[in-house]
Amino acid sequence: MYVYYLALKYLLSRPINLLSILGVTLAVWALIVIVSIFSGFIVKMEKHIQGTTSDLSFIHIGSSPRSDLTLFQKLLEADPEVQAFAPRLVWHGMLDHAGKNELDLRRLQRGPERDFVQVIGIDPKQEQKVSRLRAWLAAVEDASLRPVNPAKPFETGSDDEIPGALLGLARARDLGLPRGSSLTLVSGHQVRNEDVTRIQKRFRLSGCWSSGFYHFDENTMLVPLSVMRDIFGEGRPAWQQAQLFNEIAIQLVEGADLNQAKKRLQESFDKLSQKKFIWGGIFWTWRDRNRNFLQNVEHQKFLMRLMLFVLVIVVGFLIFATLSMMVVEKIRDIGILSALGGTRTGVLVIFAFSGLAIAIIGSSLGVLSAVWTCAHLNDFNVWLKDSFDIHLFRTSVYGLKEVPHQIEWLWVGIVCTVTLGLSSLSAIIPGFRAARMDPVKALRHEI
């Protein structure tokens, strides 16, 4: 029993031990809070990405749109887990707008690469079955930027025949464009070995949407599918032009296994390809389409974990240094204890228990403070912004209403276990040194 009494006495009599406890607390706090923010961000981004990407997508492999939509309709309608699907015609180009000039400060701040845009031709009625288009339109709080008629979002209310187009709210605000602004898509496409055909199509901004996924809102323009078919179907028969597409968004029934459905549809398509001699294509899940982005965030999260574990190592050295100093200060006490019958194991336990107590107290305080911090992260972020104009986490950049967080309790357990193990190891080394000390020399030692 004397072992634990002496261990606690040594801990409480040396204020420097508070520094070790504080070090453990800060290390555990940082490991839990920062990783929780990353985890929450990933969960939010996955939700937003899944909202902007259908369960499955068929991607055409080829430079020109295909015109065999009827075959795909039969293939998809035959699958019991396909609930709805919508053809799209996706292209890329550069976006020009009225009033833009070389000295446009917004353009200079964005950089020339920000003029590029992904153009998606959609049929609003079909698109609403596979995406949350109506909710995106309703999410625009500014009535001057919302479409006049959400049921027909491409209506411009203008007397001219210029087709309407929808821009993400982030892109429209970045460019300073009001509803009704003139937009020009500049691009090109090549049919087989022919020369590149220039695309220059004028649109009128009919409104904006806000999906919550900043990357999608900033880099995408939605236009009528019929307009895109007119652009790419020039010179083709009317029946063929009416079936042009290069992507199909597919919504599955609730609870369907995405990977199994993807495999099943791909096999059906491959058989159809061999039979009909049609060009290739591939089915992707929403995770497949956004694999690079999700893997990038996960990789950053891993690197952050690795870097933060350095704090635990530093804390281990701090405990080692603190207890080594304690051994030097308590040499005479160790000699007296040994002379009175104290065993080497008892001496070792005194210092090992001291290190373990520091780790337990520090880890407990770290976990409690981390949980409290996560619960009040958004309040703290708002306070910093309002009081000092400091943005701890720019929620607007990521299309989030508050600072995301999700505590991973398995990670909390790993952090505490590693901290306790490393702290105990750091304490055992000075403990061995004290236990192996010669009692006679220890009694003759003078400080």
State whether 283 and 420 are in the same domain.
Answer: no
**DSSP conformation class of 139:** T
Q: Select from 276, 229, 260 the least CA-distant residue to 90.
A: 229
State whether 38 and 136 are in the same domain.
Answer: no
Distances (CA, A) of 226 to 89, 137, 283, 292: 9, 21, 24, 31
State whether 269 and 411 are in the same domain.
Answer: no
pLDDT tens per residue across span 18-38: 878 888 888 889 888 888 888
CB 130 within 8 A of CB 253: no
State whether 421 and 297 are in the same domain.
Answer: yes
**Rounded Cα–Cα distance for residues 440 and 207 (Å):** 89
Distances (CA, A) of 40 to 32, 37, 274, 408: 12, 5, 45, 10
State whether 36 and 77 are in the same domain.
Answer: no
Structurally, how many domains does the chain consist of? 2
State whether 214 and 315 are in the same domain.
Answer: no
The reported pLDDT for the residue numbered 19 is 78
Of 232, 257, 289, which residue is a domain's last?
Answer: 289
Of 289, 311, 337, which residue is a domain's last?
Answer: 289
Q: Select from 20, 98, 86 the least CA-distant residue to 427.
A: 20
Of 289, 323, 346, which residue is a domain's last?
Answer: 289
CB 93 within 8 A of CB 185: yes
**Rounded Cα–Cα distance for residues 54 and 206 (Å):** 24
pLDDT tens per residue across span 53-102: 889 999 988 777 888 888 888 889 999 999 999 999 999 999 887 655 54
Across 41-55, 321-335, 370-384, the highest mean pLDDT is recorded for 370-384
For residues 356 and 33, which has the higher predicted lDDT (pLDDT)?
33
| Confidence (pTM) | 0.74
Q: Domain range for residue 208?
A: 54-289
State whether 76 and 126 are in the same domain.
Answer: yes
State whether 20 and 78 are in the same domain.
Answer: no
State whether 306 and 388 are in the same domain.
Answer: yes
State whether 204 and 251 are in the same domain.
Answer: yes
Q: What's the one-letter identity of residue 151?
A: A
State whether 223 and 327 are in the same domain.
Answer: no
State whether 95 and 120 are in the same domain.
Answer: yes
